[in-house]
Amino acid sequence: MANYMLTPSDIFQTKDENYYEFIQTIQEKQNIREVLEASKGFKNRDAMVLGIVSTCHDEYQTLVDIDSSNIATLYVEGYALLEKAFTQTSHEVIDRFKIRGIFASWWVENKFTIKSIKNSGYDYNLLSEKFLSSSAFVDTLDEEAHLPHAKYMELLKKLKSAKEENDRVVIREKIAQMKEQIFVNIADVKPFVVQQLKTDALEIANRYLNEKKQAIIKSTENLWDKYQVSLEQIEKERDESTAEIKEFLAELGYL
């Protein structure tokens, strides 16, 4: 919990000189998740880690745009840049192996894009369907581009449901035409490609953060399972169940 700037008082309160109990806002097991996800500890740590990743990506983008950089050096320099940034920050949330994992996962997803940028520059064909469908992109379009974009979205749905390969080929050709119409008035696609690359990096980092938070939530829920139900409550529930069974047996004539 300390890694996420959480203290016992975020979850527990003093019951007596020997014991703690869950705070008043935690009346049910599901409240544990709600309290932790709303905590400043979770939010502040997430913001800090994602801020580091965002800043590192901006610096890394500068390396990508240097003419002398190449694919081999960009992988090594990218990881070194991210590791250095986290090493300089007392975060203790993501260890060295997770840091390597963040960049490695991003590299696997975006190596082709980086290679294409180095070989032929920024092109709208580097933008994924996911990005082109996102509000981050759609909200930037002018009125003229909205119609071809709407048709583009319809064609994507048709492509997913098409069963014949010939149909898929025709639909893909139409999709390419719609993409061209979408970008006919967009002179510079670089900001979109850069944004897509950064978004991917932040999403990957967020997955690692979610894994860490889920582990904290699970361990705290385990404490609920282990200690929250008192012996008195267990005996009460046992007696109630026994009474129900006796009543049932009496109705059947066994008692």
Per residue in 43-101, pLDDT (tens digit) is 998 999 999 999 999 999 999 999 999 999 999 999 999 999 888 775 567 777 888 89
The pTM of this model reads 0.83
pLDDT of residue 255: 55
pLDDT of residue 229: 64
pLDDT of residue 194: 98
pLDDT of residue 184: 94
Average pLDDT across the chain, whole number: 89
Per residue in 181-231, pLDDT (tens digit) is 999 999 999 999 999 999 999 999 999 999 989 999 999 999 888 877 664
Q: SS3 string of the chain?
A: CHHHCCCHHHCEEECCCCCEEECCCCCCHHHHHHHHHCCHHHHHHHHHHHHHHHHHHHHHHHHHCCCCCCHHHHHHHHHHHHHHHHHCCCCCCCCHHHHHHHHHHHHHHHHHHHHHHHHHCCCHHHCCHHHHCCHHHHCCCCHHHHHHHHHHHHHHHHHHHCCCHHHHHHHHHHHHHHHHHHCCCCCCCHHHHHHHHHHHHHHHHHHHHHHHHHHHHHHHHHHHHHHHCCHHHHHHHHHHHHHHHHHHHHHCCCC
Residue 149 has pLDDT above 60, yes or no: yes
pLDDT of residue 245: 74
